[in-house]
Amino acid sequence: MVENLKNYLNLLNNQQRKAVVNSKGSTLVLAGAGSGKTRVLTFRILHLLIEKLAFSNQILAVTFTNKAASEMKIRVSNLLNYPIDKMWLGTFHSLSAKILRAHAELVGLKSNFIIIDSDDQLKLIKQICEHKNIDIKEKPPKYFATVIDNYKNKGIFPQSVKSPKGKKGEENIAIIYKLYQEELLRLNCVDFGDLILFCIKIFKENKEVCSKYQNLFKFILVDEYQDINNVQQQWLEFFYQGHKNICCVGDDDQSIYSWRGADVNILLNFEKNFSKPLIIRLEQNYRSTKNILECASFLIAKNKGRYGKELWSDKDKGEKISIKGFWHTKEESVYVSDEIEKLISNKTPLSEIAILFRVSAHTRSFEDRFINLGLSYKIIGGLRFYERKEIRDVIAYLRLVHNLDDNLALERIINVPKRGIGRTTLGKINSIARNNNISMFNAGSKMIQDSTSKVNIEINEFIRKVHKWYDLKKEIDHIELTQLILEDSKYVEYLEQEEKNSKNPENLNRLENIKEFIESLKDFENLEGFLEHVGLVMENISNTNDESISLMTMHSAKGLEFDNVFLAGWEEGVFPSMRSIDELGKKGLEEERRLAYVALTRARRKIHITYVNQNRYSYVSHDFNMPSRFIEELPKNLVNINNSTYLSNNNFIDEFSQIENMDSSFITPGRKRLLSRIKKEEDDWDFNQDYQSNSNATEGSRVFHQKFGYGKIIFIDGDKAEVDFEKSSQRKIFLKYLQFTA
């Protein structure tokens, strides 16, 4: 509890105090990283209650996680020394659920409705597809679930949806959405998207109910405003129309969730959406050194879509950011582990050390290194590399090929990808195995001799393929064998489909994980050696301490802070992500830069940035990596480039002059641009340049893309083209990122 509540404002700096006491009207608080936004929100609630501007049940406070809501409620209660249980404090979804239960009948529901999860959602869509004879191989249920969720995030109801014509597999979207909603109502169920959507429907169609809540909530507070979507904004605007007192706290420079539907433009248009707003900037950072903040501010200033602010600190200047390049990922992980060992020798707790990645697959080489050294680590916001589903699946395939009697491996992958071999069939195989004292693999062979059912045909095909792989392992190495298994089993095809139908980063990274997995095989002489290594790794996984090094993606790092931060994998194409740039153009690049800003501002004292010269997946590429453009965008006086292979005084070193003498077939577009810059001796390092003008682009043109390779244009839509790539799937790419070939 604050000893003297009358003096609580003295605990705030000038800008924080301004944000707390200006309670009337519309306020946007632009809270920079580490500037005390949680304190502002907490004290604003405190101020409203102490000054008797509102009772606790007249305050609507919206957070993005239940954890944040719980922590805020505890903080305010502790400050006041009494509970505030009547306060409407929670997530958009939890608050909407509360309103919806009170008025369920207005949208055709009962108050005891069930909120279904994603698994139930997929089952329901699958049933609808089967009933309507819609081929789920063309567009699986997950695809339709994602599309429906996107509609709901935009506040679009089924009756407003028209299926696109001429797009294969998408002509049934409107039908499925309509039937899906009807079935949910029939079952007295809702999904998460419905919670907000139905509230908006109630407010639109029932003025009395709408007025009730508008009059009730005198003050509205919103946390993480940069992460809201269109339907959440509509929801807020209904409540705002009552007393017109709203305070939104957010940071346009930390908007990194567009793949979840977040739209930073909502924050940037605050002045248009809410009348005569007061904009307050929290720029004093309490977390990082001056050097770190200056670097982060310098980098993010390159973005056009932002309000603009300048973080500052009264802390020491601190150390410069260290930048170092390596030839291979193994060297990178050795360097990082050596630096961590130095920190440990200086009594730095492991909990104050973090390694951040753009792609979760890149944790693998670090995990292997730490396990070998006995360094305790944990993965934040995800699974350890060898625990990830796709990695366990591939390992199970390899285990079975290594040992046909491995029943556990067989059970895991006999129906992955789906082959129509369900639990009932597996039960029969198990029964045959037990009764005859044989392995499940042999039981499957025995079972198919007795019948010619469709299921048995699939089992027969599976067993035939496993036999083939088993025989080939004596003739080809374990890397080639793994690639063959992935191709024959159609597992990669299965992951590509998963990737198409989801924007979740975890699904988007599965193929990267597989590539990293194959790369890891190169460290072992044979399959047996690798499987032994995995066994030891999995054993060590269960023996970790709370005091550990934190490994995580940059997305997972938001909201966290550490004394020492290692930023690994800063290579062009990896970070910024080529996928983001291809799909979103300049918007994608700006979001990637915001992600870099988030990564930099996690550190209190010291930052190490590393990158790898050799293509991380060199088993399929002759190309080299170039350092991330974000490295060049950092202020030169605040970074130390330590023996970097690529960089020397803002230019590429002579090592790459050898490119001139290379066979032209090995000179990729990226290398050509690199060579051109070396010849011109340019001081500025700019990777934003486009390929040659593509004004003459036509359907059927053969093209090359730096990441996806060669392909053919299927159709052109404005500045984008749908391209059928030879070694990848069909993708929509900006024309400017395509090189036209003969």
Residues taking part in catalysis:
37-38, 223-224, 254, 602
389-402 vs 510-521: helix axis angle to the nearest 10? Answer: 40
Cα angle vertex 59, ends 55, 63, to 5°? 145
For residue 272, give every residue at least 6 positions away whose Cβ sits within 8 Å of its Cβ, in sequence order, or none. Answer: none
The H-or-E segment that residue 531 falls in is helix 527-541
Rg, C-alpha atoms of the chain: 28
- For residue 695, give the 3-state DSSP assignment: coil
Q: For 356-419, what is the HEC assignment? A: EECCHHHHHHHHHHHHHHCCCEEECCCCCHHHCHHHHHHHHHHHHHHCCCCHHHHHHHCCCCCC
Question: Largest Cα–Cα distance in the chain?
Answer: 85
Query: Among 270, 296, 94, which residue's Cα sits nearest to residue 195?
Result: 94
Token pair 């050799």 in the structure block, residue: 614
Q: In this structure, what is the dihedral angle of CA atoms 137, 189, 173, 255, given to the nearest 10 degrees?
A: -100
Print burial letters for 583-604: b (CB count within 10 Å at least 16), e (below 16). bbeeebbbbbbbbbbbbbbbbb
Q: How far is CA 70 from CA 42, 87, 246, 427, 671, in A?
A: 12, 12, 21, 45, 52
- For residue 510, give the 3-state DSSP assignment: helix
Q: Report whether 16 contacts 293 (CB < 8 A).
A: no
For residue 36, give every residue at least 6 positions away whose Cβ sits within 8 Å of its Cβ, in sequence order, or none. Answer: 12, 13, 16, 282, 284, 286
Taking the CA of residue 438 as centre, how many other CA atoms within 13 Å lie in the half-sphere pointing to its CB?
14
Burial class, 16, CB count within 10 angstroms (exposed 0-12 / middle 13-18 / buried 19+): buried
Taking the CA of residue 473 as centre, how many other CA atoms within 13 Å lie in the half-sphere pointing to its CB?
20
Cα angle vertex 469, ends 463, 470, to 5°? 85
Q: For residues 508 and 495, give the distance between their C-alpha atoms in angstroms, rounded to a whole number.
A: 9
- For the chain, the first-to-last Cα distance in angstroms comes to 74
Across the strands, what pairs with 329?
none
Q: For 99-148, what is the HEC assignment? A: HHHHCHHHHCCCCCCEECCHHHHHHHHHHHHHHCCCCCCCCCHHHHHHHH
For residue 130, give every residue at least 6 positions away whose Cβ sits within 8 Å of its Cβ, in sequence order, or none. Answer: 136
Query: Among 697, 686, 741, which residue's Cα sits nearest to residue 719?
Result: 697
